[in-house]
Amino acid sequence: MCGIAGIFNTQGTNVTVDVLKNMMGRIRYRGPDESGMYIDEYAGIGNLRLSIIDLSTGQQPISNNDNSLWIVYNGEVFNYIELRQTLLKKGVNFKTDSDTEVILKCYEVYGEDCLKYLNGQFAFAIWNSEKKELFMARDRLGIRPLFYTQNKNTFVFASEMKSILEHPSVEPKLDTQALMQVFTFWTTLSPKTCFTGISELPPGHYLKVNHNGISINKYWSLDFSNDYDYQKGDINKASEAFEELFEDSVRLRLRADVPVAAYLSGGIDSSATTYFIKKVAKDLLQTFSIGFVEKDFDETIYQQEVSEYLKTQHTGFKCTNQEIAESFSDVVWHTEIPVLRTAPTPMYLLSKKVRENNIKVVITGEGADEMLGGYNIFKEMYIRRFWSRQPDSILRPLLLKKLYPYIPSLQSQNGKMLKFFFGYKLGDVDLPYYSHILRWNNSSKIAGYLNKDILSVNSGYDPILDFAGSLDLLHINKWHDLAKAQWLESTIFMSGYLLSSQGDRMAMANSVEGRYPFLDHRVVEFTTRLHPDLKLNGLNEKYLLKHTMQGRIPDSVLKRSKQAYRAPISASFLGKGAPEYISELLGKDKIVEYGLFDNNKVDVLLKKLKNLQQTELDNMALAAILSTQLLYHKFIKGYSPAQNELNDCRILSNSDVLK
């Protein structure tokens, strides 16, 4: 895994080694092993390498035979060995054994169609020095990040936005409309980011930029339009097909020239990936997990049980509320976006522990909930639709209590209170986003803490209506209700939050690469063709996966109730031993100085939380406000250039620009 950055000036000016070095130096942790750049009079592209495949000859940038094409690349293409063999038969020559060169030669042979051959997680840029054109692409599901901006004749890109901010033409400014999106969807709507003028290349898209400007095209999308290949009840046939695909996905993701370990959370997903790793590779497997000192959040007992059952070499540790609070500041630096939960922080601490054990690659279970119907929001949607047929029923809303046993405040509520909380737009079942309207409506209340000036400027803006206006209703309305919910969860939450703030950013902060077998595009496309009952059978989530894993993981894990991964919020930030930066950033002086939130409203929230009169939304509001203050503090108010010289950087050039 790596970090990439680059500059393209259509007029052949303002491309300098020093600026590119600063951009690369800012994200050195993404690739601490070595660095390299190619530069000419029009463009400079750079790579920071975390060496995993072809340790001896895989240095970047890599060029084609006549040096007209140059590539920098972040990620892994897991089927590169097979692609290499195909290209060799076409007469293509290679000078390295790296997957990087396979991508470059694929592009040289197939052009932009090369993307349909790649099985992996990637973001790359290819500079055509003859055409003076830059080609960039991002993997199908957005596992690896890629951002860009354009200012007049200068186009700047990088794996992280903080790298782009190192360019002298870019001035950091928070986009308040983007904040309102975050406070609704937990992320921005791609391609928008929280920084004005900086865009994200959406998942499954490629971009070309030349003297004519920028063009962006989609090459893949998550689609549930296919007829169901497996009819209701055909569980054995579906399970056999799924196992064959998933095992191959795991096999491909074990390819590395360094040791590969696994995360073990104690749930079905990570237990399944661990089982198949052990099945494919007989070597001793190292597994890692994190637990919590607070028992309401801790799953250590299940992690240990799975490790003993599958005979892994396990390293587990627990984090305290104080550790979460102390690390939260660093977490926001890496997320580059406000977060509504503290959940990324333990993942940051876990990857740190992994790196301390000299591990660079971990396989994880992300994607199973989205693709196989595992989330409570899917079951909640089913219950609300069932309830909507008899909206005055007292008994039907009580089913919702079963979904959230880990939220004590919910268990004490009667039918009337449940209706007040869960009954929002209960009868609007024809909304294509019916499954998520309750979550989005509740989260959007956080925007009410913004100050009156920001609310006034954005008074006519509704993030939900903005999103609704972008939907292809003729296409989506043909899908099953579960398919609509899965699409929403995958394209917004999974890509924008889970794979970013909890995934790539937390792992790469400590130079660790995460790999996700459930997100192999073949596995994903297979799940879109499954009958909904094979994913969510009544209220039995991940029905197919559970069937497949019977007798292969402990029954206690297989049959346990779904427990969402969460971490303490108010207990961490407002409890004993909380670091001083929290009270400072939430205090009146900084709230007023930064001009983002209404001080009186924040003060009321803090008093409520300190008196232990809290709801889930109050905790989310606290995390959102503090992380936004941190974002402003780190990137606007207190930002200073990196000035990292990267003295070990390997510099290549086809011109006299360095003379």
Is residue 649 flagged as an active site residue?
no
Q: Which of 2, 114, 194, 319 is catalytic?
A: 2
3-state secondary structure of 362: strand
- CA-nearest of 29, 135, 2, 230 to 642 is 29
Q: 279 to each of 228, 275, 330, 552, how far by Cα in Å?
A: 30, 6, 37, 11
**Cis peptide before 259, with omega less than 30 degrees from 0?**
no
With beta carbons less than 8 A apart as the criterion, state whether 192 and 200 touch.
Answer: yes
CB neighbour class for 175 (10 Å; exposed up to 12, middle 13-18, buried from 19): middle
Residues 6+ apart with CB under 8 A from 66: none
The span from the CA of 211 to the CA of 247, in Å, is: 46
The Cα–Cα gap between 274 and 268 comes to 10
Residue 197 Rama label (left phi>0; alpha psi -120 to 50; beta) = left
How far apart are the C-alpha atoms of 263 and 315, rounded to whole Å? 10
- Rounded to the nearest 5 degrees, what angle is found at the Cα of 345, between the Cα atoms of 490 and 261? 75
CA–CA dist 631, 475 (Å, integer): 38
Q: Which two tokens stand for residue 142?
A: 């957005």
Quote the tokens at residue 232.
Answer: 């209701």
Lateral strand order in the sheet of 650-653: 199-200, 147-151, 154-158, 2-9, 43-49, 34-39, 650-653
Strands 513-515 and 361-363: parallel
90 phi and psi angles, rounded to 5 deg:
-90, 5
Collapse the DSSP code of 324 into the 3-class scheme (helix H, G, I; strand E, B; otherwise coil) and give the result. Answer: helix
User: Using CA atoms, how far apart are residues 157 and 165, in angstroms rounded to an integer?
Assistant: 10
**Smallest Cα–Cα separation from 281: which of 261, 309, 307, 264?**
261
Between CA 6 and CA 147 the distance in angstroms is 11
Instruction: Provide the annotated active-site residues.
Output: 2
